[in-house]
Amino acid sequence: MTLSEIRIEMARNPEFPDGSAAHGYEFVAPLNSADHIDAEAWHQLRAKCRVKRFWQGEPDELGHLVRKPGGSWAFHYDVHGDENDDETGYRLGNHIIRSGDYISIREHDEEMHTFKIVSVTLLT
């Protein structure tokens, strides 16, 4: 089983007409041969499935990729003990994780943002 490091950055939107490389996430996840998050592999590797949220003007937040009841995926941060503060990927389990594609994340404030996948790097 292998892990990939995925970097996503804010996609174009009214606030960021050109997108923003200063707002996004880097996370580690196992991907299957179809480039989807591999839930079975995640169970064995979940301690290594880390996330870093980087947001210009705010301190980085560190946490883990977690699987929620019902099968959805979320980012759970070490400083937030409450899972209500988790940031949930919109249908993240169904998305192909490939450079150039887009995914959406519902943030702490319940606002949904779209991010562009800028890199997927296989970890050794």
- Mean pLDDT to the nearest integer, 39-46: 95
Task: Note whether 103 and 115 are within 8 A (CB).
Answer: yes
Terminal-residue alpha carbon distance, the chain: 10
Rounded distance, CA 80 to CA 65, Å? 14
Question: pLDDT digit string (tens) for 3-37?
Answer: 999 999 999 999 999 999 999 999 999 999 999 99
Task: Note whether 33 and 81 are within 8 A (CB).
Answer: no
Look-up of token digits 């490939």: 98
Burial 21-34 (b: 16+ CB within 10 A, else e): eebbbbbbbbbeee
Residue at 94: amino acid letter: N
Q: Look up the pTM and report it.
A: 0.92
Residue at 40: amino acid letter: E
